[in-house]
């Protein structure tokens, strides 16, 4: 059985909205009086769940509620969830930036955190001085830091500016150096928030590779928060999903990502706006109707891989001076963008948009035998082609699923081209075959 290096039990964090602390002397005295008598804090019995989209009934809110997690040594644990789900609060408690309201955390070894750009860096000190400062905070001796110094500087790519005050670094340079310090000073547990998104593509690839080395090669533990599902899938083997301050799923990364995406994407196959003043848009364009249709022009959610899928977009076009265009982007169940398409790809787009106010009815066909099995969401937008300007953009506007309905023993057998075939698309390509004897 693998060693448990981090154990979180019944962890909760409560905040009072709009103020620091409890906000009133009477509340502070009430809490103190209960504490000296050995009784439970009376304000722990009240409070709303952390749902930022709804109006609460209490001035207290639970950013985290009853979190229980065990992390094994050498494990890379992904933590995913929507904005406001409690991810950063959890990491701040683990990093001792703030304390929990209730519950306990038991850990073995040093914890290094990378929560925000330049976390723990003193802006007036140089990069070199900050390396030694951070090492000292982690409990390392000057000799230990010196042994890692050259590797830190080389990995960060900031050698030319290492003796320049950090306040003059770009955000990308700060995160490069901060990550290098956190990774190379050998903490037992490395806590990383979304901060890697600040770096460029080359550095992100390098950082993910280093995290894999840390966990697999060096046997250290990583807690990784990201909205990049591709990075979560590549880096972690297990993940938790947070929703409104609670753990709603714990399991394999693949299943966790699917669970997270399903929280965002309910079934949406048809939407009409009959009243023009209530339709999304502006003085250039407003949406009238969007749908996912089958070959019979009927709104549909489930499609076989052998069926065509149609995305219908009807909109009021008020743009006389510049031609509008409908735009779609299709994402798979891991939130990976598969492709984008625009209405002006149609050969008659130019003639349809002739400068008159009108209702434009446009339909895009996604051909059969193109998408693999899975669930998909569609971003719908209306914008100008020239100049580039977006008037309307709705993420997760439509959803649909694709399945391989392989049926045996019937007259017309749908050809099975793989079932859960690996890859994000699976086009039915033409093959030319010859045989020589």
Whether residue 285 is contained in a domain is answered as yes
pLDDT confidence band for 1 (50 / 70 / 90): very low
Cα separation, 414 vs 16, whole angstroms = 59
Domain hosting 274: range is: 270-403
Residue with tokens 């693949």: 254
Write the burial class of residue 76 (CB in 10 Å: 0-12 exposed, 13-18 middle, 19+ buried).
buried
Q: Are 292 and 249 in a shared domain?
A: no
Determine the 3-state secondary structure of 212 from DSSP. helix
Looking up residue 124, the CATH number of its domain turns out to be 3.40.50.300
Same domain? For 209 and 94 the reply is yes
Asked, for residue 173, whether it belongs to a domain, the answer is yes
Tell me the CATH number at 275: 2.70.50.60
| Under 8 Å between Cβ of 378 and 397 | yes
Closest CA to 60 of 75, 81, 76, 45: 45
* Same-domain status, 160 and 305: no
Whether residues 241 and 274 fall in one domain: no
- 204 shares its domain with 276: no
Same domain flag for 256 and 288: no
Evaluate whether residue 9 is within a structural domain.
no
Q: Which conformational region is residue 434 in: left (phi greater than 0), alpha (psi within -120 to 50 degrees), or beta? A: beta
Higher pLDDT, 338 or 229: 338
Task: Clarify whether residues 167 and 248 are in a common domain.
Answer: yes
Q: Let me know whether 90 and 171 are in one domain.
A: yes
Neighbours of 62 (CB within 10 A): 22
130 or 350, which is more confident = 130
CA nearest to 166, candidates 175, 157, 296: 175
Core vs surface per residue 147-181: b (16+ CB within 10 A) or e: ebbeebbebbbbeebbeeebeebeeebbbbbbbbb
75 shares its domain with 179: yes
Question: Are 98 and 117 in the same domain?
Answer: yes
Res 30 pLDDT > 90? no
**Average model confidence (pLDDT) across the chain:** 81
Residue position matching structure tokens 């900050």: 130
> Which stretch of 119-123, 289-293, 363-367 has the lowest confidence by average pLDDT?
119-123
CB-based burial label for 93 (10 Å; 0-12, 13-18, 19+): buried
| Terminal C-alpha separation, the chain | 58
Asked which of 90-99, 132-141, 234-243 is least confident by mean pLDDT, the reply is: 132-141
Q: Reply yes or no on whether the pLDDT at 437 is more than 70.
A: yes
Of 128-137, 176-185, 235-244, where does mean pLDDT reach its minimum?
176-185
Instruction: Indicate if 317 and 215 belong to the same structural domain.
Output: no
The answer on pLDDT for 39 being more than 70 is no
Provide the domain count of the chain. Answer: 2
Give the range among 164-168, 187-191, 303-307 with minimum mean pLDDT: 187-191
Asked if the model's pLDDT at residue 329 lies above 90, the reply is yes
Q: Crossing angle for the helix pair 127-137 and 142-156, nearest 10 degrees?
A: 130
The residue ranking higher by pLDDT, 125 or 417, is: 125
């Amino acid at each position: 059985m693998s060693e448990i290096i981090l154990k979180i039990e019944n962890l909760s964090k409560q905040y009072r909205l709009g103020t620091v602390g409890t906000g009133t002397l009477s509340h502070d005295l009430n809490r103190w009086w209960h504490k000296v008598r050995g009784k439970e804090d009376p304000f722990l019995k009240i409070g709303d769940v952390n749902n930022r989209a709804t109006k609460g009934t209490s001035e207290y809110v639970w950013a985290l509620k009853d979190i229980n997690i065990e992390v094994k040594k050498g494990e890379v644990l992904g933590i995913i969830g929507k904005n406001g789900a409690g991810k950063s609060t959890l990491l701040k408690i683990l990093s001792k930036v703030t304390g929990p309201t209730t519950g306990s955390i038991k850990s073995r070894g040093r914890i290094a955190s990378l929560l925000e750009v330049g976390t723990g860096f003193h802006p007036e000190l140089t990069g070199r001085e900050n390396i030694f400062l951070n090492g000292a905070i982690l409990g390392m001796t000057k000799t230990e830091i010196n042994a890692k110094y050259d590797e830190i500087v080389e990995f960060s790519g900031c050698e030319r500016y290492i003796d320049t005050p950090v306040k003059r670094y770009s955000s990308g340079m700060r995160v490069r150096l901060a990550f290098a310090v956190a990774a190379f000073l050998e903490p037992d547990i490395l806590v990383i928030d979304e901060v890697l998104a600040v770096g460029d593509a080359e550095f992100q690839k390098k950082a993910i590779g280093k995290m894999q080395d840390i966990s697999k090669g060096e046997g250290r533990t990583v807690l990784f928060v990201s909205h990049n599902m591709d990075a979560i899938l590549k880096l972690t083997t297990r993940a938790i999903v947070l929703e409104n301050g609670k753990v709603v799923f714990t399991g394999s990364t693949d299943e966790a990502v699917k669970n997270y995406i399903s929280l965002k994407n309910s079934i949406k196959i048809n939407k009409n706006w009959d009243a023009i003043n209530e339709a999304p848009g502006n003085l250039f364009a407003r949406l009238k109707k969007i749908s996912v249709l089958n070959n019979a022009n009927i709104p549909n959610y489930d499609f076989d891989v052998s069926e065509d899928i149609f995305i219908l977009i009807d909109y009021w076009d008020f743009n006389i001076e510049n031609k509008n265009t409908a735009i779609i982007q299709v994402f798979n169940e891991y939130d990976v963008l598969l492709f984008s398409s625009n209405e002006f790809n149609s050969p008659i787009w130019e003639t349809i948009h002739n400068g008159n106010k009108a209702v434009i009815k446009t339909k895009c066909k996604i051909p059969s035998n193109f998408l693999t099995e899975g669930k998909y969401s569609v971003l719908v937008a209306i914008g100008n082609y020239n100049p580039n300007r977006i008037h309307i953009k709705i993420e997760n506007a439509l959803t649909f699923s694709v399945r391989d309905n392989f049926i045996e023993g019937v007259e017309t057998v749908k050809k099975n081209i793989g079932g859960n075939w690996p890859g994000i698309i699976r086009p039915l390509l033409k093959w030319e075959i010859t045989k020589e004897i």
